[in-house]
Structure 1
């Protein structure tokens, strides 16, 4: 069963994504993935803050150079992903590290306020820019979302019990976390299929398409990701490895 589900996803993904334009995007997506081992090595040499600054500089320098050269085949948001994931590691460092500098950072700043300001800023930029300009600035918006997520996680991880920590630790979110890796793996082809085969033929405007993907796509992704996890991941997680 797991091979059937996986085969259907790969077949549909190859038809819808791997076109001339899709191939370039797929290759671009491999850039941040190939950079993760370098981040781990840099983390040991330069430390948390040094690595974050270095990755931010390299990522956005690359994005600016691509824009100056007018290279359109490499989506800048995929280059920015490597910085966004670095921020995730930095957030984990701030939450769990016992070094005095990180203890001061996580305790002295109002992370709830920072998260609220960033969320309002993201909403405001999306509203004033519109779809076309948002698409041109996805790398920047993704980084703002990463900073907002970092702030939310730090705020929720404080020692004192608060509503945010209760929300993050709610049964529903904990349940989703169980198959969150499956969501990460298959959400893109699911959205692509919904958009290409259901929404595109309807010829709706961009706002209607976005709202439809939001309302329909989220529950569909959660349901199919749970099925994918059950048949394609859970089976292997509970399978004993054979001794060599």
Structure 2
């Protein structure tokens, strides 16, 4: 049977699964009982903190949560003791057992589940869908950036390998670069020795002497090309004034 989720409660009332005149009042009573139970101290039982975390509101506690609490109390042995009237002697057990019993009386728990279904379909699912769309966009953007960073990283590793090969360095990590560079210093010794031999060769000495003679020749030519000083330039300063005075 296809039932619009927004009319689930009406469908239950029409099928007389719920009493039209009393289910709302009974549900408010159950919610009040849950609020009172949450105001009390939590049972000292493993797993209760996960089902009823501190600060949880009554609207967040459903019939399934109450059943889980009752099962945890049973596993913790808090449902073992009863009075001669059949009620639980442990106050926590009595409190949550009464809540579950009131939920199940008149199938009130179906209203709670139907209202939760309507709330989830109307608000929670659209919000989750919106968050999924936003997360999908962010994921695509992150994947694009990751591909770009991987490309840059591959290029950097390739350039680093080329530089290592150029310096005859073994592939190394970031922390070993300084050590590997110091080890390559020994490669400079034969280079310096070859440069020293070339500088001491007869051809280099002759080239230096030729360059020295060339520089001296150029200087002599430059001095010879300078014009001789004129009479006006050779006259001492102040000479014109003395002649006029005479």
Structure ranking higher in helix proportion: 1
Higher relative contact order (CA 8 A, sep 6+): 1
TM-score (norm 1): 0.24
Larger radius of gyration: 2
